[in-house]
């Protein structure tokens, strides 16, 4: 299984919850513990171990607050 990671831009998140609804693996939570600078309930990437880098959360985020990454073996040619 591919492994993935997402980055949520907390300045852009408005807490609508679409990302957690459409994450098939339940990686994203909104438990009301954290708030954005604008006062929205933040989505939190709570279970990174479940993420398979499908990118659906990023498509469905209306606010373009999410970047989804796939984790791949580091190439030797990659800059260190």
Partner 1 sequence: MNGESREGLALFGGVLGVPPKALKSPLPASRERGDTGGERTSDHMQRQLVAGRPDAWMRLEFNPIPTCPGCQEPTATRAVLDVLEEMGMEGEAILVPGVGCHSLIPFMLDLDHVMSAHGRPPDLASAIKRVLGRGAADRALPLVFTLQGDGDCIAIGAGSLVNAAARSENITVLMLNNVNYGTTGGQMSPTTPLGHATSTTPGGRTPDYGYPVRVPEMLATFQGVAYAARGAVNTPANYQKTRAYIKKAFQTQMAGRGLSMVEVLCSCPPDWHMTPLNSLKWIEAHIIPQFPLGEFKGP
Strands 28-29 and 44-45: antiparallel
Among 28, 42, 44, 61, binds partner 1 (CB under 8 A): 61
Among 28, 42, 43, 68, binds partner 1 (CB under 8 A): 68
Question: What are 23's two structure tokens?
Answer: 């994450």
Within positions 13 to 42, which residues make up the interface with partner 1, using CB under 8 A? 13-18, 21-22, 36-38, 40
| Residue (of 19, 64, 54, 11) closest to 30 by Cα position | 19
Q: Which residues bind partner 1 (CB under 8 A)?
A: 3-5, 7-18, 21-22, 36-38, 40, 53-56, 58-75, 78-80
């Amino acid at each position: 299984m591919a492994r993935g990671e997402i980055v949520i831009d907390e300045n852009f998140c408005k807490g609508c919850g679409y990302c957690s609804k459409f994450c098939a693996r339940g990686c994203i939570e909104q438990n009301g513990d954290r708030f954005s600078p604008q006062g929205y309930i933040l989505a939190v990437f709570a279970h990174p171990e479940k993420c398979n880098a499908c990118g659906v959360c990023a498509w469905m985020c209306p606010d373009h607050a999410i970047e989804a990454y796939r984790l791949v073996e580091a190439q030797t040619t990659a800059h260190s």
